[in-house]
Amino acid sequence: MRKPEPILVAHLFAPLHEELLALLRSLTPDEWNAPTAAGAWTVKDVAAHLLDTSLRRLSMHRDGYTPSLPFEDLTSFVNGMNASAVAYARRLSPEVLIDLHARYGAQQVELFESLDPFAPAKWSVSWAGEDESPSWFDVARELTERWHHQQQIRDAAGRPPLYDTYLAPVLDTFVRALPYTYRDVSGGPLVLRVVEEGAGEWSLARGTLYSGAAPDPAAVVTMRGDRAWRLFTRQKIDPEARVEGDATLAEPLLKMVAII
């Protein structure tokens, strides 16, 4: 076992952006209106949400703009911004959405490529329980957001997934939620083994995350990468996980969420 390495993924935003533009340009009118796994959102709603997150990142991070909005708690604040942006975008055509993505998505790519990955992040990664995060973690978190929402569009429109290149760092980012998820749980070590797509192994021992499998684990959870990313992004699915050892210790992992 070893401590996990920083996840340096700024170089992946440009190709992921190009994949998104090609995907959106390929959609038929029926596909734009297809339901997705993102609650009540259609494909067009998910595309609008992705655009809004780019605009917010540029406004608040690059430009230092602080909007005057009511704030109760982080989850309610983010959900409110998401809902209002998607509602507004319903009056826009797909063509306008694509043009805005092309312009501002490229600017977001430039922003992420310009950041010092080891400087303090603009925002901490709340689902990992951090009050302060390095920039590389914030950027990796943003990659998981942009990738999994694009994947929801791909699923809804029947397009092939983007697993090569992307799924391994996405899962490596998601598992950083394990120490926070298990902060009140005793026992272990626990091993998560992902097979097939995005394959990898991680261990949680005494509250610390490691890459690789711990010797003599109390529980081992094995699942396919295709199921793991869906599970950690709140999709209501059967994880098809194989649990060996202490099933009770595995339960928090099978309920873990790595998005806001």
Looking at residue 67, what is its pLDDT?
A: 80
Shared-domain flag, residues 73 and 141? yes
Residue after which a domain boundary falls, among 161, 186, 220: 161
- The set of long-range contacts for 250-255, using a CB threshold of 8 Å and a minimum separation of 24, is 250/190, 250/219, 250/221, 252/181, 252/182, 252/185, 253/178, 253/181, 253/190, 253/192, 253/221, 254/221, 255/181
Contact 7, 13 (CB under 8 A): no
Query: Is 166 a domain residue?
Result: no
- pLDDT, tens digit (0-9, with 9 covering 90-100), for 182-230: 999 999 899 999 999 999 999 999 999 999 999 999 999 999 999 999 9
Check whether 111 has a pLDDT greater than 80. yes
Judgement on whether residues 38 and 106 belong to the same structural domain of the protein? yes
Do 185 and 222 lie in a common domain? Answer: yes
User: Tokens for 78?
Assistant: 């983010």
- Is the predicted pLDDT of residue 51 greater than 90, yes or no? yes
Classify residue 82: in a domain, yes or no. Answer: yes
Q: 249: which residues sit within 8 A by CB, 6+ positions away?
A: 185, 187, 188, 190, 218, 219
Which domain range does residue 202 map to?
171-255
Q: Report if residue 2 sits inside a domain.
A: no
Beta bridge partners of 222: 193, 242
In a domain, 96, yes or no: yes
**pTM as predicted:** 0.94
pLDDT of residue 71: 66
Report the percentage of the chain scoring pLDDT > 70.
98
Q: What is the CATH number of the domain that holds 58?
A: 1.20.120.450
Residue 172 near residue 7 (C-beta atoms within 8 A): yes
The mean predicted confidence, pLDDT, of the chain is 96
Per-residue confidence at 101, pLDDT binned at 50, 70, 90? very high
Tell me if residue 205 falls in helix, strand or coil: strand
- Residue 187 neighbours by CB under 8 Å, 6+ apart: 218, 246, 249
How many domains is the chain built from? 2
Query: Residues of the chain with pLDDT > 90: what percent?
Result: 91
Residues 90 and 65 grouped into a single domain: yes
Domain end call among 161, 182, 200: 161
70 part of a folded domain = yes
Q: Are residues 190 and 89 in the same domain?
A: no
Q: Do residues 102 and 23 share a domain?
A: yes
What is the pLDDT at residue 188? 87
74 in a domain, yes or no? yes
Is 260 a domain residue? no
Please report the pLDDT score of residue 116 as a whole number: 98
Mean pLDDT to the nearest integer, 2-7: 96
Note whether residue 152 is domain-resident.
Answer: yes
Backbone dihedral region for residue 120 (phi beyond 0: left; psi -120 to 50: alpha; all else: beta) = beta
Q: Output the domain CATH number for residue 196.
A: 3.30.1050.10
